[in-house]
Structure 1
């Protein structure tokens, strides 16, 4: 939680756990976890901790001074945990906004093609704001946050009914993060997005110019990540029965745009996974498939503006919405693909140049 530490927070967290040797308390942890799985026993335990009798017992056992020190130490540690929890929840907001913007480029029918459940319709940003508000009301408000490195922003609650400023700020972070990740892939790709925005602002035929730039951006990032031959090899190894991934042109089998987008968001890695109540474990996962389709649908929508436009404000708004959704899809797609690491041996053939 030290903002002055130059190490990434992930490294600081690893270093924290490395300071403790948990081997001596493994049996105790196993027992505690087994006890906590009993809901009635857990509830009774929490109620007893809050009860006056337990507090009086602890007071007599420890003495007034030690009991007071224990309570103060518990509150101080809880304040640090509460700050970490709030910052962790808030770190999810740009991804929630990116997800919402990416889905915004899909119609309701297109969403149903991906999933027949209501998972895609979840208002993640509002849900995060609601959790954040509860953390502030129920936890942070009663803890000595002045003992932590909490800033004014950390202590200011997000309210679900006043989300517009939070979402605008998160959307800026999505655009910045998307640009940074594109920069790692190819600095020229970043100029495509910047060129599209500049064209919309200053050019008389800016809408068609912007659409062309964004279509070229999508095509280049797919083409430069994996070749068509590599995409076909990946499809054959991972999704041989999935429809809409290949097509024939002049007797030659080629991957579809959806196949290229799927291979991109999977980083050429394996698709196999465990089944659950929302996912049978076969075919692409809900998140990967949604992002791949969002990228392809955005490209298709951009085609309408490619060869001409009327220059109306409505068209500019539509194109800006497509651009925002594309930035969201690319941020999440690049985040997923980088998290997956390099292509797996069982996914792409040996000798792949990716």
Structure 2
């Protein structure tokens, strides 16, 4: 009887041990397989991996996936399936880094240079002094073409710079709510004022292109630096001198490319893909900064930098002595047509040839 009970207990224990062995063997095999898989194929680095070999693994992964990380979408626009685009990282780094640095240095450098020039040279006066005679320089249509371009460009420049520097300059001054409102309306103004800007460029091209063809008189003007650094020495010039011709072609050609690249961004994916839009943004940003820097000098000369210069685009009429000193060849032509006095004004200093 006792032997039977012992046999029965031994058999139950044996069966229990066998069942435990069956459960442990697959688990151990699975653990060994997991270890082998980890050794053969490392897990890709996580998004927070910042040090160690994960960085090189991440770079290698992006090199192998040039088209980006693609997901699955049910809408016809397959571009929305792109989750991560490696080239977008380079575009973002340029926009957040090099673009801001170069733009700040160039624009602040231009302003600082003009301040120094004004302190050293002062306002460029009419050497012979204002006269009692005036001559028509620009008619109403020409001034309209200029001002529609100038005003729209000024708003475009300010709203564009707001997108680059606004959060760093205006948020501390205005607060986030006011900055958000200003930026929203600024974006609308930036988009819609691009059209009158282009219209002004076209009008200026049609009206003034024949006066802005470079010729031999521009060489002498450039050699004399336009007489900006030497009082009483004014090189001869036609209706537009070499400096004004540079501004003209900068606005027409540079402004045209800026507008074209801006329309690529305003109407996305109509003519190009994501890579093309990134290139359009780079072109738009770089040329805009260069254009703004050049126009700063133009605004300075046309306002506080030179006596009598603003009248050309203000009333359209300029002092005869001013015209004789800065655009002597043009004044002579107007005199032959009977539109300006023939005799020089009293106290006039002949322009340097």
Give the greater-gyration-radius structure (CA).
2
The answer to whether the superposition gives a TM-score over 0.5 is no
Please give the TM-score of this superposition, normalised by the length of structure 1: 0.28
